[in-house]
Structures are given as C-alpha cells and as structure tokens.
C-alpha cells in the first residue's frame, strides 16, 4: 500500500504532461495593434472563418495600415484570424520549431490551418488555438504563441496585445 499513492501520482503526472503544449518558444516581444473604430476594423480586421490577416510592421503589411511608433507586431509578425465561432484570435507568425523571426507560418485556406514553410509543421488556428497538428511541432508539442484580442470598444474598435 505504501507504493500506491506515489504510483498514482506518477501516473497522473505522466498523463497530465501529455496534454501540455509549449507555446512559450517565441521571445515575448511587445505586441500592440490598435483598430480605433469599426471602420478601421472593417478594413483591416477579420469578420468570419476563414478570414485572416498578416501584420508585419517593418514590412508595412498590410499595405495602408496606419502603423505608429506605439505599434508593435511581436517577434515574427502577427497573424489575425477569426475562429469557427467568429471570435478573433491572434498568433505570432514565427514557427515555434524554428524560433526565428524570418521563418513565418502561412495560412493554407483550403486546409484551414497554418504551415511552416521550413520544417513543414502544421497548426490548428481556427478550432484549437495554435495547437500543433503535424511535423516536428506536433512531435515536440510546440504550439503557436497566442496574443490577446480585446474588443469591441465603445467605438467598435479592437486591440491586439501580448
């Protein structure tokens, strides 16, 4: 009987660790993207699945977005999507396997997932936020770094922050 409690504890730890996704591989750089009103959100935001948008300040993507000195787009840029419940979600675009700011995931609209062009890992960005589906990311359980989307505010705008 002395061994029963330690054995059960060990089994619980093994099974609980299997469910853990490491989404902390990308450096925690500042993120601040502001959509001050509903018109700005309608122009640069997302409305429904499978809408998506890339925000990369140093490349001025999307074109015409009013970036300011207070705008930050994380380590590799920000991917904004609308999940299956039409709730906006945001992720860092850097692949957590490669962990380089210039190796970015891209959205495969046909498969409704994101893919890393270098390691081939795929990620669920619409249903289970940022979870790895295949490739080295799934083997190592590396998920995408997720950011917070706040809004709408009293003017219909949104804010993305880390």
Q: Does domain 22-161 have CATH number 2.60.260.20?
A: no
Average pLDDT over residues 35-57: 95
Beta strands in 29-97 (DSSP E): 31-35, 52-55, 72-73, 78-82, 88-92
Q: Which of the four pLDDT bands, split at 50, 70 and 90, describes residue 19?
A: low
Q: Which of 46, 48, 107, 112 is nearest to 80 (CA)?
A: 46
Q: Which of the four pLDDT bands, split at 50, 70 and 90, describes residue 84?
A: confident
pTM > 0.85: yes or no: yes
26 pLDDT more than 70: yes
CB atoms within 10 A of CB 67: 17
Residue with tokens 């018109």: 39
Contact in structure between 125 and 78 (CB atoms under 8 Å): no
On average, the pLDDT of the chain sits at: 90
77 pLDDT more than 70: yes
Residue with tokens 């015409």: 64
CA 127 – CA 105 distance, rounded (Å)? 17
- The ranges assigned to domains in the chain are 22-161
- What is the reported pLDDT for 16? 44
CA 127 – CA 130 distance, rounded (Å)? 9
Average pLDDT over residues 139-150: 97
Start-to-end Cα distance in the chain = 48
8 pLDDT more than 80: no
What are the angstrom distances between the C-alpha of 115 and each of 75, 104, 125, 128, 132?
A: 17, 9, 10, 15, 10
Residue 8, H or E segment? helix 4-18
């Amino acid at each position: 009987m002395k061994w029963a409690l330690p054995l059960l504890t060990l089994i619980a730890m093994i099974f609980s660790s299997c469910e853990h996704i490491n989404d902390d591989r990308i450096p925690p750089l500042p993120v601040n993207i502001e959509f001050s009103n509903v018109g700005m959100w309608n122009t640069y935001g997302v409305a429904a699945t499978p809408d998506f948008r890339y925000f990369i300040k140093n490349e001025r993507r999307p074109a015409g977005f009013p970036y300011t000195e207070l705008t930050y787009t994380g380590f590799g840029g920000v991917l904004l999507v609308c999940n299956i419940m039409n709730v906006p979600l945001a992720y860092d675009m850097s692949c957590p396997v490669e962990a380089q700011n210039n190796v970015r995931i891209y959205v495969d609209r046909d498969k409704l997932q994101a893919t890393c062009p270098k390691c081939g890992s795929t990620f669920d960005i619409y249903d289970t936020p940022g979870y790895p589906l295949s490739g080295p990311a799934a083997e190592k359980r590396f998920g995408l770094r997720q950011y917070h989307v706040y809004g709408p505010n009293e003017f219909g705008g949104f804010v993305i922050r880390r």
